[in-house]
A and B are shown apart, each in its own frame.
Chain A
Amino acid sequence: MERVPILKIGDILIVSIQVDLEDQSVLTLQEDLAEAVVKHAARGVIIDISVVEIVDSFIGRMLATIAGMSRMLDAQTVVVGMRPAVAITLVELGLNLGGVRTALNLEKGIALLDHVRSAAR
């Protein structure tokens, strides 16, 4: 089973999904991330899906779950790098990502997190 590495920069955790994930790896990532948020007292989580070729309902639900879970643990989540074909497919599939924040790339994602946090102060 593939395990997705979680990187830490300051109080932000960055996850870049580089492989075609099977369902068990997705569940493991959720758990690993929840633990990492608490362990590092992270305030933000960025999930980079720029090389992910498809997001089906299972992966979509993972993204919404991670966002909800992070919120409970006082961290904000931003999904970055969604491919245009993936966005078109998600809309037709009818998947509502449950208020997951998105940004076009990593840089914009970090800027969004900074903005959200300064607004909350």
Chain B
Amino acid sequence: MTAAREMPIASNGDVVLVRQYVRGVAVEMGLSLVDQTKVVTAASELARNALVYAGGGAVRVETVENGRRRGVRLTFSDEGPGIPDVDRAMTDGWSSGTGLGLGLSGSRRLVDEFDLESAPGKGTVVTVTKWGR
């Protein structure tokens, strides 16, 4: 199993590196091509969110196991302004910045487990998990 890895998200180039690393781990965990594509796309959205809304952050990429199932878990954290109304932020079309308002709600649909913790002034932590079939 690949050891967990913490990656910085401080530039556009870092977003590309996160995508590439997550792809590699998803392949290693035996995710199908469609599931790889979904989790890499979610990683790209969430990494860009951290960059655009919080000025940067970090992601922890780790492998998970549950019986015979294997998967990849990503924990994005930032120390940005936080999200005042999480329910609203999870709504399609809602956006506070330059995005399309699909970053959070769209990412949630692409993964199996999605958890978001945020409060104004406290930053944001988003944890997503994608399991192999």
Interface residues of A (CB under 8 A from B): 20-24, 53-58, 60-61, 83-86, 88-89, 92-95
Contacts and interface: CB of A to CB of B under 8 A. Distances in A.
Interface of B: 12-13, 15-16, 19-20, 23, 33-34, 36-38, 40-41, 44-45, 48, 92, 99-100, 102-103, 105-107, 109-110
Nearest to A96: B100
Given A20-B20, A23-B12, A57-B45, A94 B38 contact: no
B36 A85 contact: yes
B41 A56 contact: yes
Do most interface residues of chain B lie in helix, strand or loop, or is the interface mixed?
Answer: helix
Contact of B102 (A84, A88, A94): A94
Nearest to A88: B34
Given A24-B12, A88-B37, A89-B34, 7 more contacts: A53-B23, A54-B37, A54-B41, A56-B41, A56-B48, A89-B110, A93-B110
B37 A53 contact: yes
Nearest to A24: B12
